[in-house]
Amino acid sequence: MANLDLGTAHAEPNHSKIFGTADTAVCFEQLFADDVSLQRTLSALQRGPVRYYRDNIVVFEDDLEDYLLFVVSGVVRSCKTCKNGARNIVAFYLPGDLFGWTAARRSLSIEAATDVEVLFLKRDSLLSLASRDGRVASYLLSATTNELVRCQEHIMLMSKTAKCRVATFLRELWVRLGRAKYLEVPFSYQDIADYLGLTGETLSRSITELERSGLISRVAGRKLLLRNHFELRRLMR
């Protein structure tokens, strides 16, 4: 547990943005809002929230031995960078996501894709709690199968064309972020490219093409409007 001194935030004070807007922050205990005593138990086995600024490392390679991570606000990426500089992003974790079952075995590093707040949860404690409380158990199970499902979709996505990958990603992100009117992509386009196995240039060109065909439009910066969901969904197949 080299870099896990939970008392201190590893973030450095070189950003001005305020952390986690209220409407995206998620509290772990709140998932079990109807049971105060369970909430108290859960509070006891969590550490944090710990804050990290964008691009800082939350967990380096496989240094996370005994903890699961819960995203309170912001976006976390799980990724691997090769010696040649190429980077693969395996997953993005959004507020409310619990993950980290595989961290102990894979040399994936966990990084802040935006400014984030994360909770560290003792794996063993959570497991033994789960064996006593069915709600916790089924929550853990569904969190894991959710992740597995997303992984499988990610795999299938990687053998489609660039345009299809981008359309699918944007729509999925829009859904995961709560189907707001506009899709405000919270992380860099390079992150998306690395997630989709494309170059930044190809990503940019694909977005341009989607815009030219009228499926989306750029509102401002990374703020997009998904115009034609029907055609987007058709592209995704």
Partner DNA sequence: CGCTCATTTGAGGAACTTCAAGGTCAGTGG
Partner DNA sequence: CCACTGACCTTGAAGTTCCTCAAATGAGCG
| Interface residue list for a second copy (CB under 8 A) | 78, 80, 82-83, 86, 88, 90-91, 101-102, 105-106, 108, 127, 131, 134, 137, 141, 144-145, 147-149, 151-156, 158-159, 197, 237
DSSP three-state, residue 90: strand
Region of 116 on the Ramachandran plot (φ > 0 left; ψ -120 to 50 alpha; else beta)? beta
Contact of residue 237 among DNA, a second copy, none (CB under 5-8 Å per partner type): a second copy
DSSP 8-state code for residue 16: -
Contact of residue 154 among DNA, a second copy, none (CB under 5-8 Å per partner type): a second copy
Contact of residue 188 among DNA, a second copy, none (CB under 5-8 Å per partner type): DNA
Q: Minimum distance from CB of 101 to DNA (Å)?
A: 29
Q: Minimum distance from CB of 203 to DNA (Å)?
A: 6
Exactly one of 12, 221, 230, 237 binds DNA (CB under 7 A); which one? 221
Q: Minimum distance from CB of 69 to a second copy (Å)?
A: 14
Query: According to the binding rule CB under 7 A, does residue 17 interact with DNA?
Result: yes
| Residue 14 main-chain phi, psi, to 5 deg | -115, 15
Exactly one of 123, 163, 169, 171 binds DNA (CB under 7 A); which one? 163
Contact of residue 208 among a second copy, DNA, none (CB under 5-8 Å per partner type): DNA
What x-and-dash track marks residues 113-152 binding DNA by CB under 7 A? Answer: ----------------------------------------
Neighbours of 147 (CB within 10 A): 18
Long-range residue pairs from 174-180, CB within 8 A, at least 24 positions apart, any chain: 174/226, 176/94, 177/94
Between residues 50 and 157, which has the closer beta carbon with respect to a second copy? 157
Query: According to the binding rule CB under 7 A, does residue 56 interact with DNA?
Result: no
Q: By the 8 A CB rule, do 213 and 141 touch?
A: no
Q: Beta strands of the chain (E only): which ranges?
A: 46-52, 57-59, 67-73, 76-81, 87-93, 98-99, 109-112, 116-122, 183-184, 216-220, 223-226
Contact of residue 30 among a second copy, DNA, none (CB under 5-8 Å per partner type): none
Which residues are CB-neighbours of 83 under 8 A, at least 6 positions away? none
Exactly one of 189, 214, 233, 234 binds DNA (CB under 7 A); which one? 189
Query: According to the binding rule CB under 7 A, does residue 182 interact with DNA?
Result: no
Q: First and final CA of the chain: distance in angstroms? A: 43
Binding site for DNA (CB under 7 A): 16-17, 161-163, 188-190, 197-205, 207-208, 218, 220-222
